[in-house]
A = this chain, B = another copy of it.
Amino acid sequence: MTDGESQTFGKDVLFQLQFTPMFSGLKEADIRSLTEGARVVTFGHEHHLYGEGDAVIDVYVILDGHVELSTEADGRRSVIEVARKGTVIGDAALFGEGRFLMTARVLSQATLLAIPAASFRAKLEPRIDIITHMLSTMSFRLRMLVRQIAELKLKTTAQRLGSFLLSMVAADEGAATVRFPYDKKLVADELGMKPESLSRALSKLAKVGVNSKADNVVVIADIDRLREFCAEDDLG
Interface residues of A (CB under 8 A from B): 71, 73-76, 78-80, 92-96, 101-102, 125-126, 128, 131-132, 134-143, 145-155, 189, 192, 230-233
B148 and A73 contacting across the interface, CB-CB below 8 Å: no
Contact flag A142-B143 (CB < 8 Å), given A126-B128, A135-B95, A154-B76: no
Distance in Å: Cβ of A90 to nearest Cβ of chain B: 11
Would you call the interface of chain A mostly helix, strand, loop, or mixed? helix
Distance in Å: Cβ of A178 to nearest Cβ of chain B: 21
Q: Enumerate chain B residues within 8 angstroms of A233, measured Cβ to Cβ.
A: 74-76
Enumerate the 6 nearest inter-chain pairs by beta-carbon distance, A residue then B residue, closest first: A153-B192, A96-B136, A78-B150, A145-B145, A95-B135, A74-B231
A139 and B73 contacting across the interface, CB-CB below 8 Å: no
Q: Enumerate chain B residues within 8 angstroms of A155, measured Cβ to Cβ.
A: 73
A143 and B78 contacting across the interface, CB-CB below 8 Å: no
Docked Cα-Cα span, A231 to B74, in Å, equals 6
Docked Cα-Cα span, A149 to B1, in Å, equals 36
Distance in Å: Cβ of A144 to nearest Cβ of chain B: 9
Q: Enumerate chain B residues within 8 angstroms of A137, measured Cβ to Cβ.
A: 96
Docked Cα-Cα span, A8 to B153, in Å, equals 39
Q: Enumerate chain B residues within 8 angstroms of A231, measured Cβ to Cβ.
A: 74-75
B142 and A71 contacting across the interface, CB-CB below 8 Å: no
